[in-house]
A and B are shown apart, each in its own frame.
Chain A
Amino acid sequence: MAAKRKKSRGENLVLRYLILCGWALFCVVPVLWFLSIGLRPRTEIITPTPIYFPTFSLDAWHMIWEDWPMGKYLRNSVAAIFGSVIIDLILAIPAAYSLSRFQYRGREDIGFYILSTRMMAPAIVAVPIFFLFRNLGLLDTIWALMLIYAAINLSFVTWIIRSYMLDIPKELEDAAKTDGAGELRILWEIIIPAILPGIITASVIAMIFAINEFLFTLLIASTPNAYTMSVALANFTGGSDGIIYNAIALVAFLAFLPVFVVVVAIQKHLSRGLTMGAVKG
């Protein structure tokens, strides 16, 4: 009886590993495929016959760095993304604190309004936004990108942080109050450290959205001055050279890599954070 149960558990384990390996392969193959395209000469990419032993080539690598200001695109991306996340946190943390802690009329409505800004199709506001930034004289700057990314992500960053704050027992703040702490101190010394996983989760998701943002970036950035990685991809599709697949693949891979590294590094917080946020709010 016992032996039988043990055996079936063993089989179960094998099956589980098989499924997990299959899933891992499913996720990772496209990425590796991309990398392999990026590291092959152009002539090998568009042949109709399969190539089993591809030639390794750094053509695309040299090309993106030497023929294009990829370094600048990368810096633009990083600056716009980090800037937007910082703006989001500065605005979202106090907003979420207010929404989760203070009693006032219309609190729920305001919370829902903030969330609802996310429900609109972005294309609807594309044109007004273009004119807005033109009038502000911010077209073709990374400041505009920062603001736009921040605006796009602000609603759900606020919402995630709010749901984390709701999970903090009220007694904790009561204790801090009787100990003599003011609101800001409570926020800074008690609440923020306690919801750090939530803040990290929200920031990472905001970064991912920002990295992938294309529509508004294209609208705002008209010269390499404000190009980011995602828009740079579009550079390789037109022009006299046709579609440069290996360069596209390589740039896409480079854009993907930092996100991947960050997500792996904070994986523990992230998985806990996503489920925690999911149950509530």
Chain B
Amino acid sequence: MARIELSNIQKKWGAFWGVRDVNIDIADEEFIVFLGPSGCGKTTTMRMIAGLENPSEGEIRMDGEVMNDIDARDRDVAMVFQGYALYPNMSIYENIRFPLRMRGVPKAEQDAAVRRAAELVELTDYLDRKPGALSGGQRQRAALARAIVRQPQVFLMDEPLSNLDAKLRQAMRVQIKHIQRELKITTVYVTHDQIEAMTLADRIVIMQSGAIQQIGTPDEIYNDPANTFVASFIGAPPMNLIEGRLSGGTFEAPGIRVEGLPGAHDGQVTLGVRPEDCRVTAEGAHLGGDVYGVEPTGDVTYLTLKVGESLVEVKADRAYRAALGQGESVRFDPDRIYLFETGSGQRLR
């Protein structure tokens, strides 16, 4: 229920940049997911939105109002902390009720709200326990319940499902998305899990070393990566990146030859192609190599080929099997080949 604008946000500790030059305009009711490797500044950015950390430079606005000097308690955000931060001396019930108490929610409504939140995260049977007597996943769900128990302007969720098993994670994911859509609460969400990012996000923000690499819808990020970092960060297994030479629209590297590429970028380039855009076939093949590994997963079979000095990952048919060292050829989907500048990693279009 709030628009959040971050403009030119920097966070420095001494000479170390935790976050640099972050510009995001988060629309009202939007679900934004931060994705990036450990230490890239996701938590720091979130803490600045919450008011727990002051940006060294830049402005944070909510609904147009500058928030830099507004105290955390006056910002009306609810946050799930990466380390849970449950109050150790209070029962789970009291933990979940705490924000309601602090925000002056009438007593009569508190109990129902706590029980509803506990039910959503499947913790109804544990309300009397202290956090110390819960498992890691249960604590995490308690932290989630404490955030969703009220209806703030903004939800901030820092890896709220990281400690749950696959089944529970899927269930909680659905709950979070449902609550967010139903209550129309602007949400910033941090995760390491791509599936979570792709399924939950209206837009994904990819960060690296404190800087934003790309902002876009899940489709844009997947189909139209801005650089090699984004390309290899999204998608599992990651996109194949092969260095070679481009001349006159023909890409060549040991064991690989692709014709018909845009000819404007002659010279040393990196070609990218996703494993799912490769097909094992001799007909019109772009690549020839030796089988290095075969990994059946039931659904699909991942095939690794040794091509020249590098390994190329291919998503093959589920019935595909091959002996190690066997020769194999692969064709790329010609519409889904990406070219990147070799040094900077920037996309060539």
Interface of A with B (CB < 8 Å)? 169, 171-172, 174-182, 185, 189-190, 193-194, 196
Contacts and interface: CB of A to CB of B under 8 A. Distances in A.
Given A193-B89, A194-B88, A178 B73 contact: yes
B79 A175 contact: yes
Nearest to B75: A178
Interface in B85-104: 85-90, 98-99, 102-103
Interface residues of B, number: 26
B50 interface: yes
Interface of B: 47, 50-52, 71-73, 75, 77-79, 81-83, 85-90, 98-99, 102-103, 146, 156
Contact of B72 (A169, A178, A185, A196): A178
B52 A178 contact: yes
A181 B146 CA distance: 14
28 contacts: A169-B83, A169-B85, A171-B81, A171-B82, A171-B83, A171-B85, A174-B72, A174-B85, A175-B81, A175-B85, A175-B146, A176-B98, A177-B51, A177-B71, A178-B50, A178-B72, A178-B75, A178-B79, A179-B98, A179-B99, A180-B99, A181-B102, A182-B73, A189-B87, A190-B89, A193-B90, A194-B89, A196-B89
Given A174-B52, A174-B72, A175-B79, A180 B85 contact: no
Contacts of B85: 169, 171-172, 174-175
A177 B72 contact: yes
A185 B81 contact: no
Contacts of B73: 177-182
Contacts of A193: 89-90
A104 to B, nearest CB: 15
Given A171-B81, A182-B73, A177 B52 contact: yes
B83 A179 contact: no
Contacts of B89: 190, 193-194, 196
Nearest to B102: A180
Contacts of A174: 47, 50, 52, 72, 79, 81, 85
B87 A190 contact: yes
Given A175-B87, A178-B50, A182-B73, 17 more contacts: A174-B47, A174-B72, A175-B79, A175-B81, A175-B85, A175-B86, A177-B71, A178-B51, A178-B75, A179-B73, A179-B78, A179-B102, A180-B99, A181-B73, A181-B102, A194-B87, A196-B89
A25 to B, nearest CB: 38
A174 B50 CA distance: 9
Contacts of A177: 51-52, 71-73
A55 to B, nearest CB: 54
The 5 tightest CB contacts between A and B, nearest first, are A180-B102, A193-B89, A175-B85, A179-B99, A171-B85
Contacts of A171: 81-83, 85
B79 to A, nearest CB: 5
Contacts of B72: 174, 177-178
Nearest to A190: B87
Nearest to B156: A178
Contacts of B75: 178
B145 to A, nearest CB: 13
Nearest to A178: B79
A116 to B, nearest CB: 29
B102 A172 contact: no
B93 to A, nearest CB: 15
Contacts of B78: 178-179
